[in-house]
Structure 1
Amino acid sequence: MSGTYYRSNRVISKTNARNYLSQNVKIPAPVEYIASEAFQKKTKISSVCFPDTLKNIGARTFQGCSLLTEVDLPTQVETLGSNVFSQCNSLEKVTLSQSLSSIPKAAFQENRKLGCIIFPDNSQISRIRSEAFSQCTSLESLDLPPALTEIEARAFYKCKNLSSVNFPEGLKQIGKEAFYFCAIDHLKLPQSLEVLEESAFFKCKNLTHVCLPTGIRYIGKWVFHGCNRMKYLEIYHNPDFIGSWIINRACTIRCYKGSKVDDYCKEFDFNVEYL
């Protein structure tokens, strides 16, 4: 079999993508790879049927497909490129592949109608990269996968209707502004968590009471700043680092007398209650 035939048989490129373009795109087997930007801004596409042979989808491949309403990735899809389904204004539902190890940068950014993200039970996703679901303003709840260890910066930035998040035990790091200006009203963080970066929950205005797990060693500045309804932050241990102004002045920190956190409260003149 010639190399040319192999490529044309298994790869959809920007050049040959027109052969598959229609309102309802059907990608045939044995296609394994859809190249970067192959269907970018093809506004006539309303649905895509992927084959079980598919393994990789490149960067910006379906970016700006404004009529696409649903994405159902086959089991064997291993990698997605950055911005792969971003700015798809009609996209409402995404079912992810169990073979994915991470969700790339800005993969579903600015999909303002996206309200349903399904992680398979045996999902291998360990990292959600920066801005992956940024400004998905219809998203209301999340049940994150058990293999997840890191949520990068601005992953759910300004998901303003996101009120419920189920974090898995095993999660170690939540990045800068990861849940900036979300509607989370109850926060149960896993004991495995070690790092809360700067402004991770900045302006989550529905939060009222947070108890931090004792495994957290780094608390970035402004992590709960702008949470105007927050009355109590409980810290039962001595983190290695606590950044400036982690709460609003109206909030009270509950900690042990004489602890590092107690000293921090005195430095910033925060209200304190002793445990």
Structure 2
Amino acid sequence: MKLLPKILSIFTITIALIIGFKSTVFAIAPSDFVVENGILTRYAGVEPVESGDISEPYIEPNRVVNIPDNLGITTIGPMAFSYRPGISSVVIPNGVTSIDEGAFSNCTGLTEVAIPVTVRSIGKYAFSSCSNLMSINIPDGVTSIGEGAFSNCNRLTTITLPESISSIGSYAFNECSNLTTITLGSGLTSIGEKAFAGSNISSSVIINGGKILCYVPPGLYSYSIPDTVTTINNSAFFDCSNLTSVNIPDSVTEIGDNAFEGCIQLKSITIPNGVTKIGNRPFYNTGLTSPIIINQNKVLCYVPVTSTDYAIPDTITEINAGAFTNCRNLQTITIPGSVTKIGDDAFSGCTNLTSIHLNDAIKTIGRGAFDQCAKLTDIALPPNITAINESMFHSCKSLTSVTIPDGVTLIGDTAFYNCTGLLSITLPNSVTSIGRMAFEQCDMLTIICTSGSYAEHYAIQKAIPFASDEK
């Protein structure tokens, strides 16, 4: 019996020593890994930490995770290791071909990971917010890096990508603030928007044999685009806040979404005649002071946000996506009879727009076209449209009554969301589909429709008051 206190004493000392030293723990027990049909769905060796509980520099004792190669794993499943800040190192076994969405996201203690040559794809946000990951070796054979895959990996400084990679997703290296150098393979043909935004890469990124300009360092004051370039990629000049001049060569035919977003010092720009396609809001939050029209004066692409009124030329057939976005001083506008298409977000954020006259020739009005036009009081929709697209009148709080023309079949998701002043909407028999939250937060709304119609059944299902349009 006298031995018991001694044993307890030794045990206590041993525990104290274990706690006192941060020892590396090797997780090799098969029971630590939950595998279903070849997918490692969860690592059970360390429980995840709630996202709100992770605050730097909180890290558990270092844990090296060596995933066994005898479990038949082909995929590291979504979120399998996410939010486990105590993991410092991971060895992925041969045979794994894909690392899925968020697999290691928010492993803030992770400093290194061994990716085998069998891996072909790295999924969305796979290593997002691994803020202590200092280097990553991406093996030859990987063909794609998903959206946000390494976003917010603040300690990455250099990346070398193999020849096998053909695509990099949007935001892939977004906010990698210490990333200064990236080496790209010749097989790369696609880079998503803002893939390198918030990094410190010091040279421009041009891919596809010199044809696609994807990234320009934000500190530049001027930039001359090489004459091999045919496409200015989405967000290529994003947040180039010092840029005052840019030379676009005649070789360029396409300018992508948000291409010059945040170029607040850019006051003027010359678009070559060969440019036939311009994306959504390419000049958003710039200092441009003149409208931009392309395609032989047929497509209106940009109107300065300071405009109080604007007469659309009668040569215009299309109002491009985002053309009037955030023209907050604009109060009224008339669309000439030549216009047949209004693009996505065309008038979004025109918060003082009270009236707009739409001509009968218009056949298409895009998503979010009048989103946040809070003072728009009424609108007569053209007879030839077939859809009220997603968020078209989102937060148009001053609209009181709308008549949907016969022939419209679709009311899109959130089409009239937060139209708090909307009292009535007339829906024709042609409407056969109404999207999610189409009339959410329209608390005073009554639907006017034909008895037995789809619209009536919808109103009953959603407990929205309705009335017959039959006289």
- Cα contact 1:69–1:92 (8 A) shared by 2: yes
1:120 aligns with 2:317: no
RMSD: 4.4
Task: Answer yes or no: is 1:176 the counterpart of 2:340.
Answer: no
Equivalent residues of 1:58, 1:82 under 8 A apart = no
Shift in alpha-carbon separation, 1:57–1:220, aligned structure 2, 3 A: closer
The answer to whether the 8 Å contact 1:212/1:233 transfers is yes
Instruction: Check whether the contact 1:97–1:123 (CA below 8 A) recurs between aligned residues.
Output: no
Match of 1:87 in 2: 285
Classify the secondary structure of the residue corresponding to 2:291: strand
Partner of 1:211: 403
Contact 1:222 1:244 in 2 (8 A): yes
Q: Percent identity?
A: 23
Per-residue deviation, residues 177-224 of structure 1 (Å, max 9, x unmatched):
221110211110000111111221011011011111012111113211
Matched-pair contact (CA < 8 Å) for 1:180–1:203: yes
Question: Is the 1:43–1:64 contact (alpha carbons within 8 Å) kept by the matching residues of 2?
Answer: no
Could you tell me how far apart the structure 2 residues matched to 1:201 and 1:78 are?
A: 29
Find the structure with the greater CA-based Rg. 2
Is the 8 Å Cα contact of residues 133 and 157 (structure 1) preserved in structure 2? Answer: yes
Gaps of 5+ in 2: 1-221, 223-230, 246-251
Q: Does 1:151 align with 2:349?
A: no
What is the aligned counterpart of 1:251 among 445, 448, 468? 445
2-structure distance, mates of 1:103, 1:257: 43
- Structure 2 residue identity aligned to 1:115: T
The separation in 1 between residues aligned to 2:401 and 2:383, in whole angstroms, is 17
For 2:314 and 2:459, locate their aligned partners in 1 and report how far apart those are by CA, in whole Å: 42
Structure 1 residues 263, 114: CA separation in 2 closer, same or farther (over 3 Å shift)? same
Residue number in structure 2 paired with 1:28: none
Structure 2 residue aligned with 1:12:
none
C-alpha distance in 2 between matches for 1:223 and 1:85: 26
Q: Decide whether aligned partners of structure 1 residues 83 and 215 sit closer, same or farther in structure 2, where only a CA change above 3 A counts.
A: closer
State whether residues 93 and 115 of structure 1, in contact with CA within 8 Å, keep that contact through their aligned partners in structure 2.
Answer: no
User: After superposition, what is the alpha-carbon deviation per residue over 1:106-135, rounded to whole angstroms, capped at 9, x for unaligned?
Assistant: x45xx542333332123233x522x33322
Report the alpha carbon displacement of residue 143 of structure 1 after superposing the two structures with TM.
Answer: 2.0
Question: Aligned in 2, Cα 1:141/1:250: closer, same or farther, shift over 3 Å?
Answer: same
Equivalent position amino acid for 2:284 in 1:
S
- TM-score between the two structures when normalised by the length of structure 2: 0.41
Structure 1 alignment gaps of length 5 or more: 1-20, 22-34, 46-54
Aligned-partner SS, 1:188 = coil
Q: 1:224 aligned to 2:416?
A: yes
Looking at both structures, which has the greater relative contact order when contacts are Cα pairs under 8 Å and sequence separation is at least 6? Answer: 1
